[in-house]
Amino acid sequence: MSKPALGRGLSALLGGGAVAKPASAAVSPMPVVPAALVAPPEPGERVRPVPVARVRPCAFQPRKDFSEEALLELANSIRAQGILSPLIVRPRGDDFELIAGERRWRAAQLAGLAEVPVIVREADDRAVLELALIENLQRENLNPIEEAQGYAQLIEQFQLTQELAASKVGKSRAVVANALRLLKLAPELQAYLRHGQLSVGHAKVILGLPGATEQRLAAERVLKDGLNVRQTEDLVARLQQSSTQAPAKPAAGSKAAAARDVHVASLETKLQERFGTKVALRYRKGKGAVEIRFYNDQDLDRILQIAGVNTD
C-alpha cells in the first residue's frame, strides 16, 4: 500500500472541478470561478485569476518532455471547456513560479488565454520538488528517465536516503532503487527510454552488460530486430559470453552456462525489487543459496514482514 505523501491528498493540491473558460481575446476578463466547482483551498487560500505572463515554470519540475501534439489537444479542450483545475504557484517577487500545472499553463498559452486560475501557496524548494513529483507520478506523466532523475534530485539536493525519498512520494524503496539504476545506462539508451523506444524491462536486462559500448550494441540490436524482453535476455547472454571467452575454442556447454547466468541475474533483479535490498543468488545444477542483505534491525524486520515471517 502506498503511503500518503506530505500528509495531504492531491485533491487539496490540484483542485477538482471546472474553473475558467478561455478568454475570447487577450484582454478579455476571466469569468468568475464558481466556488462549488473546485476543491476548497487550504485555510487562507483562494482560487484567483492571474495573467499568464506573470507565471513562469519551475526549475524543480521533473518533467522535461512535453508532447506538442498532446499540448495542442489540451489547448483545444481548454478552448472548449476551460481549465478544469487551478494551477498551484508560489510568489516570486511580482511574479509567480509554478509548483504544479505546467502542462496546463503551456496549453493555456496555446489556447490564447490572457489569465489562468491559480492557488498561491507558500512552499520551500523541497516541498516544491516533492509536490511536482507527486503530481506527475500520480498522473503518470513522467517517462522512466524523468522519474529516475526526479528521485535522484530529491535524494541529492536534500540529502535523503532512498527509503525516505520513497516515503515522501508514496512509493516503495524498491521502486525508487530500480528507477535510479536506469541512470547508469549510456545517454543514448536513456534517450530511447525517454521516447518509449525501449521499455524498462529491456533496460533492466541490458544493464547486465558492463560497458556503454556493449549496452549500445544490445539496444541497437533490440530496436533493429524488435526483440522482446526474453529475447533480449538471450542476446545479453551471448554478448556476455563473447566478451569473456578466451580466443581458444570455448569449452563445451559454455553457451548454456552463459544463458543460465543471465536468467539467474534476472531472478536476482526480481528478488531485489521484491525485498528492496541487495540480493545474491548462487545457483549450480539445481542447488545454491540466496543471500538477502539488511543494514539494521528495522531493515531486517521489514524484510521478514515481506517474506511473511511472524517474529512474535
Residue 77 and residue 310: Cα distance in Å, rounded?
53
Specify if 75 maps to a domain: yes
Residue 61 is predicted with a pLDDT of: 67
Specify if 104 maps to a domain: yes
Catalytic residue among 42, 68, 102, 146: 102
CA 167, chain centre distance (Å): 14
Residue 110 and residue 298: Cα distance in Å, rounded?
51
Residue 30 is predicted with a pLDDT of: 34
Residue pair 210/242 in contact by the 8 Å Cβ criterion: no
| DSSP code, position 20 | B
Specify if 266 maps to a domain: no
Q: How many CA atoms lie within 13 A of 58 on its CB side?
A: 30
Q: Which three cell numbers stand for residue 230?
A: 526474453
* Three-class SS of 31-52: CCCCHHHCCCCCCCCCEEEEEH
| Residue with cell string 544463458 | 259
Q: What CATH number is attached to the domain comprising 71?
A: 3.90.1530.10
Specify if 35 maps to a domain: yes
Residue 199 is predicted with a pLDDT of: 92
Specify if 26 maps to a domain: yes
Specify if 146 maps to a domain: yes
Q: Which residues pair with 95 in a beta bridge?
A: 92
Residue 125 and residue 81: Cα distance in Å, rounded?
33
Residue 115 and residue 52: Cα distance in Å, rounded?
5
Q: Which residues contact 191 (CB under 8 A, 6 or more apart)?
A: none
In terms of DSSP bridges, do strands 87-92 and 95-100 run parallel, antiparallel, or are they unpaired?
antiparallel
Specify if 289 maps to a domain: no
Domain that holds residue 24: 1-184
Q: Is 102 among the residues known to form the active site?
A: yes
* Weakly modelled stretches of the chain, pLDDT under 70: 1-44, 60-65, 67, 135-141, 242-260, 295-296, 312
CA angle 191–166–168, rounded 5-degree value: 115
State the amino acid at position 134 in one-letter form: I
Number of structural domains (the chain) is 1
- Residue 61's closest CA among 139, 153, 124? 153
- Whole-model pTM? 0.50
Specify if 290 maps to a domain: no
